[in-house]
Amino acid sequence: MNVRRGNARLVALITSGLLFATAAHAVGAAEPGKEPLVDAAACIAASEARDGDKVLTECGALIDNAKVPKSDRINALIARASIYIIRGEADRAIADYGVALQLDPTLANIFNARGELYRKKGDRPKALADFAAALRLNPDHVSARSNYHDLAVELERLGAQMAVAGRPSFNCASVRRAVEKAICADPELANLDREIDGSHARVMREAQGAAAARALQREQEAFVSKRNASYGRPGYDLKKAMQDRLRRLNGVDGY
C-alpha cells in the first residue's frame, strides 16, 4: 500500500498543470465535407476520476486512433502512463512517455518524469540524459535540476567506489604479515578493511575532545594488534572480526 500511495503522489506531481492542459475538442456534428471530431471527453473524465480501467480503455482508444488531434493523443498518453505508474508498470509508462515525446519533444515535464522512472529502475545513464533534456528545454525546471544534481553526485560517488573496489586501506605491494596478504587476496576482506579505515577516520574527526580521540585510537590499535596475532589460530574468524569491528565503529555515534 505504501508503494501505491507513493506512486499516486508521483502521478499527481507529474500530471498537475500538464494533463489535459489544452481544451477538449468540441463535441458535435462536423461541418459538411470534414472528418467528424473525435470526442476526448470520456478519456478526460476517466482520468479526472482516477478510474484506471476506464483510462486504459477510453484513453487507449484515442491513442490508437490516427484521426485524433496530436494534443489529445499526448494527453491520453500521459493519462495512461499515470495509471501504469500507479499499477507499478514502469516499462509501459516509459513507453507511453516516449511516444508523447515523439509527438512533442518540447515537454520538459515528461522528460523529467520519464527520468524519474528510469532512475527507479536503476538505469542511471538514461535517467541523467532525460533530466539533462528537461533542463535544456527549461533551465528553471526545479525538479529536473534537483534530480540531475542528485544523480550526478550519486554517479560520482559510485565511480569513486568502483575505482577502489577490492582494495584495502594499505598498499598490498609492501605487506609482509600473513593476515594482510589474506586481506589483499580477498576482495570482500579488502573492502571491509577499507570501510573500517574510513569509519575509524570519521569517528576520530567527530570525537568530542582529545581524550575521546585517544581512546578511539587505542581501541583501533588494539583491534589491529589482536587481528594480527590471532589470524591463523584455530577458531579465529577474520571476516567476522572485521565485521564486528565495523559495526562497533559505525555504532559509536549511532550510525
The pLDDT value recorded for residue 165 is 67
Instruction: Mark whether 15 and 131 lie in a shared domain.
Output: yes
pLDDT at 251 over 50: yes
184 within some domain: yes
Predicted pLDDT of residue 194: 87
Provide the number of structural domains found in the chain: 2
Domain membership of residue 137 as a residue range: 2-19+41-161
**How confident is the model over 164-178, as pLDDT tens digits?**
667 888 889 888 999
Kindly indicate the confidence band of residue 22, based on its pLDDT and cuts at 50, 70 and 90. Answer: very low
Which of 161, 193, 210 corresponds to the end of one domain? 161
Does the pLDDT at position 10 exceed 50? no
In a domain, 255, yes or no: no
Q: Which of 161, 191, 226 is the last residue of a domain?
A: 161
Which helix (H) or strand (E) covers residue 240, if one does?
helix 238-250
Asked if residue 155 and residue 187 are part of one domain, the reply reads no
User: Which of the four pLDDT bands, split at 50, 70 and 90, describes residue 111?
Assistant: very high
Instruction: Specify whether the CB–CB gap between 230 and 236 falls below 8 A.
Output: yes
- What does the pLDDT read at residue 37? 55
Mean pLDDT, rounded, of the chain: 82
CB-based contact 238:189 (threshold 8 Å): yes
Residue 154 has a pLDDT of 80
Would you say residue 228 lies in a domain?
A: yes
Task: Evaluate if residue 6 carries a pLDDT over 90.
Answer: no
CA 52 to CA 80: how far, in whole Å?
Answer: 8
What span, in angstroms and rounded, lies between the C-alpha atoms of 237 and 226?
A: 12
The Cα–Cα gap between 79 and 96 comes to: 9
Locate cell 589482536: which residue? 226
Asked, for residue 154, whether it belongs to a domain, the answer is: yes
Residues 45 and 140 in one domain: yes
Final residue before a domain boundary, out of 161, 184, 201 = 161
Inside any domain, residue 205: yes
